[in-house]
Chain A
Amino acid sequence: MNPDWHTIIQRHMDGLSTDEESALLKDALKHDDTLARLYLSYLNMDVALEAQASKSETTRSLLLADADREPAKVVTFPSKYRRVIFGMAAAAAIVLLAATVWMLGRPQVLLLRGVGQEFANASSLPHGELIGQSVDLKQGLLELSFRKADATVVIEAPAKFRIEDAKTLRMESGRVTAHVRDGKQGLRVLTPHTDVLDLGTRFAVDVSDGRRSEVHVFEGKVEAGATGAEHRDLLTTNQALRFATSAKPEARAVRSGTFVQPEEMKSLAAGVKAGQARRALDADAKLKQDAALIGWVGFEQSSGEAAVEVHGARRVQGRFTGQQALEFVDTDDHAKMNLHATTRQLTLMTWVRLDRVPEGISSLYHTDGWNTPGQVHWMILNNGQMRFAMNGAPLSGDQGEMQWPQSRDPLLGKLGRWLHLAAVYDADTQQVGFFTNGKFDSSVEMKTGLPAVLGPAQIGNWNVKHKHGTEHRRLSGRMDELIALSRCLSADEIRQHYEAGNPYR
């Protein structure tokens, strides 16, 4: 009996086809021209019906719709059917961009994309020319195109800004990352403390702390001076300056990892549309029910979280709109906590986005001091390897230059975007396993199997006095979540937690 191609094609178009139907269709389309023509004919009809249906809606949606605010809608059918994602937001987004092009003539500055954006006093940005617009972005991310300056910028909430003209962005507060393809045109960013002129580069301006503005150059050149001052500095790749009121600029370490880059926007937007925020919440809720949970810190100040005492670090936007992370900037920024646990099995997991720290160690979780057998220090070394050190539990046998258990693959290439890290310790097998973005990296054998002692500890700055001075270990970047369990999660469980909480698609 011949397959009912009319039905199979339509089921495939609607995302309802079973694996067998899809395989059958795929094979037949490869050599059957008549079937391929029928298939294309159905798709042509689908596009035409979509256009027909939107005819009466188009004008209204062009003017009113806020494409990326509309969450993706997911309908789940019985398991033999695929999940069908009705992300109409995407369709609206294309209409919006086209509409901007059509209806408003020659926009110099326009919205390219948004991720979970919410505004203080408007439901959306105008779809078209943004010059002259003052924006109070409460949540989310916006990607704007400054056509004349040949620049793409990403603005992160909370932010107040105004598009002054085709090449000038005034940031009252918030953060902006800019990629200027051709510095001949010069994008200018003004803040209460500084005046930045781009000379062809990738750079960021941080005005998230009202007392100061920072300029970070990742590539190329930027000219910056204090507001109203004649003197201007030239910043080149990997340089940063901090401008504060009535003070000369102070050189800072460049923070490349904490600013959202234009290249991330597409996959972050896709993550939102695919409902990743909901999946992450569901995964967290499931883990919170785990009897082995020792501590869960989401930095949301919500009930059920382990208490943290924050020193210097600030709450900023996390992986998803409306969720918070803790940002560590200065050397002594840290958050104190006490998990009050002693356990023979331990899993530590976290979501971070980190700056590259050329020297020293990035501290993820350090128990106080270093004098109690079983106490734990979890960190990233300057070569990008993750280390899990336990006092009194050195490595088994000769393991070369390695002194404490360390992951194998360096993380350096993965910094500057959200990253999931996990370390799993088992005193019975005397092993530590490392996982990056849900993937097993390596395991290392230790000489003894002490129970892990999780007493007073800190995320971020940890210091210890030596006879030659004080050693500081700091964290430069954001941490969105830290989870500790008194059991060894399986590789599958870690992968699932990563996949559910991954903001990218």
Chain B
Amino acid sequence: MSQPPESHQHESFLRLYAEHEAALHLFVRSMLPSRVEASEVLQDVIVVLWQKFDSAEDFKKWAFGVARLEVLKFLQSRARDRHVFDDALVNRLADMAVHQQPQHLTEREALDHCLQKLPQAQRDMVLTAYTKGIRMDDIAAQRGQTPMSLYKVLHRIRQALQECVRRTLAQEENA
């Protein structure tokens, strides 16, 4: 897949990208814990895919391969940061993310359900925290809290959601 997309292949690219976008996002994220960094790398991944796409054959495998290389390239530039995982661990997590994909799709469905079960105030808070362009310290200032105390609240809500997802899936299995 070394040639740029020709006109007649464009729709094919759109369809394939749409089909795999969510999985690709999670795949990149599995290697990069930071939301911002993952988005930056994903941007580069899409540009590469867009420029080099020429065949629908095994798109997912190719796209994931491109994504893995882009992430590793990015991590090389950050190698001195002690918070960054080494290549072996990144590859291990990426492999597990591919393997776990069906499970993650199920978890997402359960998460929708769990989010609805959250008290309104908590749901609003968590979705606000994830809204583009909103800064945690701005939210904290509005609520009269410190950013760190707000993060603690967010951590509790996410842990509750995680537990809810686990229980929901366990019940489905038992049923």
Report yes or no: B50 in contact with A97, Cβ–Cβ below 8 A: yes
Chain A residue contacts of B29, Cβ below 8 A:
43-44, 46-47
* A residues near B158, Cβ cutoff 8 Å: 10, 42, 45, 49
> Do A102 and B14 have beta carbons less than 8 Å apart?
yes
* A44-B7 contact in complex given A10-B155, A37-B96, C-beta closer than 8 Å: no
Chain A CB within 8 A of B39 CB = yes
Cα–Cα, bound, A73→B133 (Å): 9
Whether a CB of chain A sits under 8 angstroms from the CB of B97 is yes
Cβ of A382 under 8 Å from chain B: no
A152 CB contacts on chain B under 8 angstroms: 51
Smallest CB separation, B115 vs chain A (Å): 7
B67 within 8 A of A: no
* Residues in A neighbouring B34, C-beta threshold 8 A: 13, 15, 85
The answer to whether A75 touches B151 (Cβ under 8 A) is no
Contacts of B135 in A (CB 8 A): 73, 75, 86
Contact indicator B93/A19 (Cβ below 8 Å)? no
Interface flag for A489 (CB, 8 Å): no
A266 within 8 A of B: yes
Out of B42, B127, B148, which one reaches A53, CB within 8 Å? B127
Q: 1/0 per position for B91-123, CB-CB distance to A under 8 A?
A: 011001100100010011001100100000000
**Can you list, as one digit per residue, whether each of A298-326 has a CB less than 8 Å from chain B (1) or not (0)?**
00000000000000000000000000000
Q: Take A10-B159, A23-B82, A52-B127 as given contacts and tell me if A57 and B17 are in contact as well, using a CB distance cutoff of 8 Å.
A: no
Inter-chain CA distance A93–B133, complex, in Å, is: 12
Q: Which of A1-47 contact B (CB under 8 A)?
A: 6-7, 10-17, 19, 22-23, 26, 29-30, 33, 36-37, 39-47
User: Which among A14, A47, A49, A106 is the interface contact of B10 at CB below 8 angstroms?
Assistant: A106
**Which residues of B lie under 8 Å from residue A113 when comparing CB positions?**
43, 47
Q: Write the B1-12 contact mask toward A (1 if CB under 8 angstroms, else 0).
A: 000110100110
Q: How many residues of A contact B (CB 8 A)?
A: 70
List 30 A–B pairs whose Cβ atoms lie within 8 Å, in order of A's numbering: A6-B155, A7-B159, A10-B154, A11-B151, A12-B83, A15-B83, A19-B82, A19-B83, A30-B92, A36-B93, A36-B96, A41-B165, A47-B26, A47-B29, A48-B108, A50-B35, A51-B22, A53-B129, A53-B132, A54-B132, A75-B135, A77-B147, A77-B148, A88-B132, A91-B36, A113-B47, A147-B5, A148-B7, A152-B51, A182-B4
B36 to chain A, nearest CB (A): 5
The answer for the CA separation of A47 and B35 in the assembled complex, in Å, is 8
Instruction: Report if A94-B39 is in contact (Cβ < 8 Å); known contacts: A36-B92, A45-B162, A61-B132.
Output: yes
Task: Knowing A17-B83, A45-B111, A45-B161, say if A40 contacts B104 (CB, 8 Å).
Answer: yes
Within 8 Å of chain A (Cβ to Cβ): is B65?
Answer: no
The docked-state distance in angstroms from the alpha carbon of A41 to that of B29 is 11
Q: Are B36 and A52 in contact (CB under 8 A)?
A: no
Is A91 a contact of B39 with CB atoms below 8 Å?
A: yes
Q: Knowing A12-B83, A98-B17, A147-B4 touch, does A6 contact B159 (C-beta < 8 A)?
A: yes
In the complex, A255→B40 CA distance in Å?
A: 32
List CB contacts (< 8 Å) of B130-163 with chain A: 130-137, 147-148, 151, 154-155, 158-159, 161-162
Chain B residues in 8 Å Cβ range of A461:
none
| B residues in contact with A212, CB < 8 Å | none
Interface residues of A (CB under 8 A from B): 6-7, 10-17, 19, 22-23, 26, 29-30, 33, 36-37, 39-54, 57, 61, 65, 70, 73, 75, 77, 82, 84-88, 90-94, 97-98, 101-102, 106, 112-113, 145, 147-148, 150, 152, 181-182, 266, 270, 273
Residue tally, chain B, CB below 8 Å to A: 67
A41 & B162 in contact (Cβ 8 Å cutoff): yes
Option from A16, A43, A54 in Cβ contact (under 8 Å) with B30: A43
Q: Which residue of B lies closest to A7 (CB)?
A: B155
A112 touches B89 (CB 8 A): no
Q: Nearest-CB distance from B141 to chain A (Å)?
A: 11
Contact call B89/A14, Cβ cutoff below 8 A: no
Interchain CB contact under 8 A, A106 and B7: yes
Min C-beta distance of B4 to chain A, whole Å = 5
- Is B43 in contact with A94, judged by CB distance below 8 angstroms? yes
Q: Which 10 A-B pairs have the closest CB atoms?
A: A53-B130, A91-B39, A90-B40, A90-B39, A44-B104, A94-B43, A22-B83, A53-B127, A10-B155, A87-B36
Whether A6 touches B162, Cβ cut-off 8 Å, given contacts A12-B33, A54-B132, A145-B51, is yes
Q: With an 8 A cutoff between CB atoms, is B72 at the interface? A: no
How far is it, in angstroms, between the C-alpha of A47 and the C-alpha of B100 when the chains are bound?
15
User: Chain B residue with minimal CB distance to A96?
Assistant: B43
Minimum C-beta distance from A205 to chain B (A) = 22
Contact in complex: B18, A87 (CB < 8 Å): no
Collect the chain A residues with CB atoms within 8 Å of residue B39's CB: 87, 90-91, 93-94
Query: Are the CB atoms of B165 and A49 closer together than 8 Å?
Result: no
Q: A26-B89, A37-B100 are in contact. Are A57 and B132 (CB under 8 A)?
A: yes
Determine whether the beta carbon of B132 is less than 8 Å from that of A44: no
By the criterion CB–CB under 8 Å, are B136 and A86 in contact? yes
Complex contact A101–B17 (CB within 8 A): yes
Given contacts A61-B132, A98-B17, contact A48 B111 (CB under 8 A): yes
Q: Does the CB pair B25–A47 fall under 8 Å?
A: yes
Q: A148–B130 Cα gap in the complex (Å)?
A: 37
Q: A19-B82, A22-B82, A87-B40 are in contact. Are A40 and B30 (CB under 8 A)?
A: yes
> Which A residues are in CB contact (< 8 Å) with B21?
98
Please tell me if the beta carbons of B44 and A266 are within 8 angstroms of each other in the complex: yes
- Chain A nearest CB: distance from B35 CB in Å? 7
Given contact pairs A29-B93, A94-B46, A82 touches B83 in the complex (Cβ within 8 A): yes
Given contacts A37-B100, A43-B33, contact A26 B130 (CB under 8 A): no
CB-based contact B93/A40 at 8 Å: yes
Q: Are A181 and B4 in contact (CB under 8 A)?
A: yes
A93 and B43 in contact, given A42-B158, A147-B5 (Cβ under 8 angstroms): yes
Which residues of chain B in 26-82 are interfacial with respect to chain A, using CB atoms and an 8 Å cutoff?
26, 29-30, 33-36, 39-40, 42-44, 46-47, 50-51, 82
